[in-house]
Structure 1
Amino acid sequence: MAERDWITWHDHYDTPGSSLGRRLAVVRDHVRLALDAGAERVVSLCAGQGRDLLPVLAAHPRRDRVRARLVELDEGNARIAQRAAPGGVEVVCGDAALTDAYVGAVPADLVLACGIFGNIGDADIRRTVATLPQLCAPGATVIWTRGRHAPDLLPVICEWFEEDGFERVDLASDGRYGVGVHRYTGPPRPLEPDVRMFTFL
């Protein structure tokens, strides 16, 4: 099987009426709400071209106060994100699955985990959710996505978040995609080095 071209994959966002385009709009709305509420430190896992964060941040009145780290393994996508990144945004070309990628950038007020849970196994989703508190400041918002293909894990993923100290803020879906938003209500947790959260299938 040929390796997926992650640059052209992003083209689906631009297809009028596409499920990915609708999902992106929902994610951006929640990013904007988090910034409105005062989020100043942001990390994005598997950030791709940064389409969920960078356009919102560029237009936001508090953009100069925000410090963000986007972690993306694909070099081409990382270069595209870097060209679009305003001041205060660091784009790291590296493995977003490793906790070491977030040293110096966490605890964050906003954590983006979009485009991940549909590409990893169930056990890795569970492990990632259990590790996310290490990336979060108290009260942090986590935005995540998952397609609603069978088996539909959205309800289970929500339960996993809630078992690990998060409260549900929103769960949006058009029947094909799901966008979850959870707020971390647990205590601060130190970042454990050299932990792998997931491996893409």
Structure 2
Amino acid sequence: MDWQTWHDDYDDPTSTLSRRLKAVQGQIAAFFDAAPPGPISVLSLCAGQARDIFGVLPTHPRRHAVPPRLVALDPRNTAIATETARGLHTEIITGDAGNTTNATQSDLVLLCGIFGNIPDADIKRTIDLAPQLTTNTIIWTRTRRRPDLVPTICAWFEQHHFTRTWLSSPTEDFGVGVHRLTTPPQPLQPDQHLFTFTR
């Protein structure tokens, strides 16, 4: 898979990726709108070109309170993200997003474009470790093609004391979920394996 050209579908407003992106951006904006005063930490794993966060942050009133950490393996994509981030306080890491060494516990964690590209066991492992990744909310995505794993993913989050605060319509061919942690977060342990891409 060429993860740079993969982003091209975002430029087609009728594509599944484009419509999913708008849903994710809407939930990011809603999180920023509802956040209390003060800094808002954001972690995006497999951020790619970070079109989700950069589709919201530059014009949002809270943009100066948000210093996101973006992690992606493809240096072409992180180069594009770095160019887009000019003028914003952003940490961009070219590295393995599937290991907690490159993560930081954050108020908002984006797991977008991941769950459709890794084995089900890795999805479960990532969710098992999710209370280490966030102090508040995770936004995630997954295709709704059969077998539709979205209900199972919701159940896995809820087993770890996450409350579902939003889920895209089942009539869409994509799934976007928002889950909020309702118990204190666990300490983030370094060098833990989360997932490995299969494409």
Segments of structure 1 that go 5 or more residues without pairing to the other structure are none
2:96 alignment partner AA: D
Q: Following TM superposition, by how much is the alpha carbon of 1:11 offset from its aligned partner in structure 2, in angstroms? A: 0.5
User: Residue deviations 1:93-143, cap 9 Å, x none?
Assistant: 0000100002xx32x111000000000011000000111111111xx1110
1:127 aligned onto 2:107: no
Aligned pairs for 1:62-81 within 5 A: 62-81=62-81
Greater CA deviation, 154-163 or 9-18?
9-18
The residue that corresponds to 1:36 in the other structure is 33
1:96 counterpart SS class: coil
What SS does the aligned partner of 2:68 have?
strand
> Residue 168 of structure 2 is aligned with which of 154, 169, 172?
172
Residue type of the partner of 1:185? T
Match of 2:185 in 1: 188
Q: Counterpart amino acid of 1:68?
A: P
Give the 5 Å matches for 1:25-104. 25-38=22-35, 40-85=40-85, 86-102=87-103
Q: Which residue of 1 aligns with 2:108?
A: 110
Quote the residue 1:159 is aligned against: 155
Q: For residues 36 and 97 of structure 1, what CA distance do their matches in structure 2 show? A: 29
Q: What corresponds to 1:7 in structure 2?
A: 4
CA offsets, 1:142-182, max 9 Å, x none?
10000011110000000000001100011103431000110
Contact 2:4-2:77 at 8 Å conserved across structures: yes
Residue identity opposite 2:177 in structure 1: G
Q: Distance in 1 between matches of 2:32 and 2:79?
A: 24
What's the TM-score once normalised by structure 2's chain length? 0.94
Q: C-alpha displacement at 1:62, in angstroms?
A: 1.1
User: Counterpart of 1:17?
Assistant: 14
Taking structure 1 as the reference length, the TM-score comes to: 0.93
Q: Secondary structure at the match of 1:116?
A: coil
In structure 2, what is the Cα distance between the partners aligned to 1:193 and 1:65? 26
1:141 aligns with 2:119: no
Q: Is the 8 A contact 2:58 2:88 kept in 1?
A: no
Number of residue-to-residue matches in the alignment:
193
Identity %: 53
Give RMSD over aligned pairs: 1.1
Contact 2:13–2:19, Cα closer than 8 Å, also in 1: no
Stretches (4+) displaced over 3 A:
none
